[in-house]
Structure 1
């Protein structure tokens, strides 16, 4: 593309199974493909089947077909990972993708303004997947990486997404996944989570105060699609002993500007 106009330019001028989604053959195949290609591959058949919410016998049959067609690869001992066709597809999607360039450009602007690590994450099934990350200048960094999947209830991005659900949708999700802790600060009680999500709706942003990773404090502002539904968030990640909770709140306006710039970009 010839050039990207960013918000700066304009201003200056567990249970991870998805059984409820694995109804038809297409859903099962896609869920299995996603589970097998998740970070940490190769994954054993039982783990892939459980993560995708597909019975093991059906999973084995579908996985064998995905291997035969080149979308997955098998290591010969019952474990699976991405194959050449899915790697080629990923390369075609991301290479020169205008949406990715826009997201990265906007995050680079935000990162320069606030001097911290910034990310964009979106909901994928029952988790948050990080799409873009721009690391800050501090030598101490969080453990996040592009492609990593994170829980909904322990992350600031995830809370933004959950705040966009109605009570029935939230109850269904928690009934499926539970609220397992990631740290001693994680919200594991549904009543407490509801109260936190009400605050997110009222304030328009979410906080993760060492709830997903000890020593890491995050702020996130929702990203919406063209219909106005929350699909993810812009996230500011800080090291707790270097940045206070009060200082982190200073970046809400800048994060909101970036989220507004990405409105409708992903659907």
Structure 2
């Protein structure tokens, strides 16, 4: 889920590898540029993208010439104006389509925080957020990354992927222990994902952030592949577990509606 308090996670792809087409490398480099707290050093971009530094340098030069990347002149690179504008237009377009549907879920789910996120490689990214009407605020922001193994949206996504793909994601991203409740064992994760499939929703029960409990439902594409997920996020000292579970049918219905909108 997804914890509404989750901050951006840095995707880890291990040692650099020349594997992948030129387009795939460029896409991974763009993704690496979009990690928060930029601009980023060349070596960090290359590591996150899983490419040699020489490849990252060449691709960044091309992206810079086209306005998708920016050479800051101190060995660091950031998002170019063309990429930033494109991203903003995409977010506005998606928000216009799903916004009313997610707002309806937020009202029906006790005014608690609602998120929509989509999968990007071995993590997911928030595309839309409807804030709670409570006197507290989740720190999540549109554009933040979230981990898949310890969030409600993440587990909803993983539950609808083939087992080898789940294990490849775990190998790439790792299974960081965020709290004492975080699942950090692959076998235990597979057991949890089987339960998610059986009941039709995922739960993050203080697995990503203490005091935060969330439920998540998968958003599938037309081929039945997980594109992302929708979640309702609460804090444990205000919303009881039983109350949160009462919102599951509305959450599931919303996820099905969103599937036709993105």
TM over 0.5, shorter chain = yes
Aligned residues: CA RMSD: 1.8
Aligned residues of 1:142 and 1:216 also touching (Cα < 8 A):
no
When normalised by structure 2's length, the TM-score is: 0.90
When normalised by structure 1's length, the TM-score is: 0.88
Residue 133 of structure 1 deviates from its aligned partner by 0.1
- Give matches, 1:94-113, under 5 Å: 94-95=91-92, 97=93, 99-113=94-108
Aligned residues of 1:22 and 1:52 also touching (Cα < 8 A):
no
Say whether residues 1:33 and 2:30 are aligned partners: yes
- Corresponding residue number in structure 2 for 1:52: 49
Say whether residues 1:75 and 2:69 are aligned partners: no
Q: How many residues align?
A: 251
Q: Among 236, 248, 260, which residue is 1:240 paired with?
A: 236
Q: 1:69-122 CA distances to partner (integer Å, 9 max, x unpaired)?
A: 211112211111111111222233344x2x431211101111111210001111
Aligned residues of 2:60 and 2:69 also touching (Cα < 8 A):
yes
Q: Among 60, 81, 84, which residue is 1:87 paired with?
A: 84
Equivalent-residue separation in structure 2 for 1:45 and 1:22 (angstroms): 19
Residue 27 of structure 1 deviates from its aligned partner by 0.7
Q: 1:180-202 CA distances to partner (integer Å, 9 max, x unpaired)?
A: 21222211001110111010000
* Unpaired stretches in structure 2, ≥5 consecutive residues: 1-9
SS in 1 for 2:234: strand
- Corresponding residue number in structure 1 for 2:5: none
Residue 20 of structure 1 deviates from its aligned partner by 8.0
Aligned residues of 1:120 and 1:131 also touching (Cα < 8 A):
yes
Say whether residues 1:117 and 2:113 are aligned partners: yes
Aligned residues of 2:105 and 2:250 also touching (Cα < 8 A):
yes
Equivalent-residue separation in structure 2 for 1:22 and 1:233 (angstroms): 29
Give the structure, 1 or 2, with the largest relative contact order (CA under 8 Å, sep 6 or more). Answer: 2
Distance 1:249 1:21, change over 3 A: farther
- Corresponding residue number in structure 2 for 1:152: 148
Equivalent-residue separation in structure 1 for 2:63 and 2:191 (angstroms): 43
Equivalent-residue separation in structure 1 for 2:53 and 2:67 (angstroms): 21
SS in 2 for 1:262: helix
Q: Among 209, 214, 234, which residue is 2:210 paired with?
A: 214
SS in 2 for 1:154: coil
Q: 1:5-39 CA distances to partner (integer Å, 9 max, x unpaired)?
A: xxxxxxxxx75228789501111111101111222
Equivalent-residue separation in structure 2 for 1:163 and 1:83 (angstroms): 36
